[in-house]
Structure 1
């Protein structure tokens, strides 16, 4: 009985520590969460506009060039997001419950796994496949099934989420866990829009 009470008390203290170590009013935390949400919203809107209007193709006079322009834009926004994530962690306090070797080792492992998933995904898809080439009418000949796509769906999103989680654990910042939660939720919502639309593109390659 005492053991159960002690465990409950320890869990409560850990939860309190995770929450109280977050400065919810800090500006870079809010900015980081903003870019976490903004980036996928941006690339989904721009990609669909391209699919329906071909505005980037018309501006650049070539679908591949238009896709490269979008790729540079998305990549740059990713750097901005990562910058504010780093700044948010730097300005947040450490969380006592995360200050241990297990968290640090797990953090390093998750970063490695996450980056492997992201980089191998990009290798398999190429720039065009990674950055919405199908919205430009540049379709892949067949579904990619090689690693990492043979072990999980959407490995780039999963890898990115794991990297955020790993960095947060390595630095012992529960504010990072909060941002990671938003990363996960935003990606899950984005996939509900992206996957059906991508299937539509491949079922009917021509614009409706």
Structure 2
């Protein structure tokens, strides 16, 4: 059974699980705070671009910290015996998923740019039109889905049941975040349309 290979008392696992939740929670709180109060823009000398780049830096750094904790948790836990019997298959499958996920993440960042990737719309930095080119013509949320594939790939390559559980947590947390981010982004763009018609 998968659970038998997971040590839930492991601090590395606990910290990773907590930070996985905190990442999108905190950046969504900060983005909403910015939208309603312009606080980050105010402390950025009134420049929304500087504010967005500050938030982008924080999101990027905190995400790297989460990734380090994830790797630490994967490395501190038992490996699954069945996966170890097929270790080379797990290695290639895992790295294949990391590669596919990386393509989705990097290509979506390329299409959106820094401000499009890192919640620039909350700063009033809106794109002229919706991006429909690859990878957005393949999936709606290539950044989050690609990141989820990267975590899953790392867990499979490491033959780690704990990594599989943490990957599932990443996927679920991103799905919850999208339920808040998606409608709010739609609201922001609808407000722009209202202002244009005035």
Say yes or no: TM over 0.5: yes
Alignment size in residue pairs: 190
Q: Equivalences for 1:167-178 in 2 at 5 Å? A: 167-178=154-165
Q: Equivalences for 1:6-45 in 2 at 5 Å? A: 16=1, 18-45=2-29
Q: Equivalences for 1:45-60 in 2 at 5 Å? A: 45-60=29-44
Q: Equivalences for 1:22-171 in 2 at 5 Å? A: 22-60=6-44, 61-99=46-84, 100=86, 101-171=88-158
Report how far residue 84 of structure 1 moved. 0.5
Per-residue CA deviation, residues 90-127 of structure 1 (Å, 9 max, x unaligned), is: 11111112121332221111000000000001000000
Task: Measure the CA separation in 2 of the matches of 1:166 and 1:72.
Answer: 25
Q: Provide structure 2 residue ranges, at least 5 long, that are not aligned to the other structure.
A: none
Larger radius of gyration: 1
Q: Provide structure 1 residue ranges, at least 5 long, that are not aligned to the other structure.
A: 1-15
Scaled by the length of structure 2, the TM-score of the pair is 0.94
Task: Measure the CA separation in 2 of the matches of 1:67 and 1:108.
Answer: 32
Task: Measure the CA separation in 2 of the matches of 1:75 and 1:90.
Answer: 23
Q: Indicate the residue corresponding to 1:11 in structure 2.
A: none
Task: Measure the CA separation in 1 of the matches of 2:82 and 2:21.
Answer: 28
Scaled by the length of structure 1, the TM-score of the pair is 0.90
Report how far residue 141 of structure 1 moved. 0.2
Per-residue CA deviation, residues 10-68 of structure 1 (Å, 9 max, x unaligned), is: xxxxxx1x221111110010100111100100011000000000001111120000000
Q: Secondary structure at the match of 1:44?
A: helix
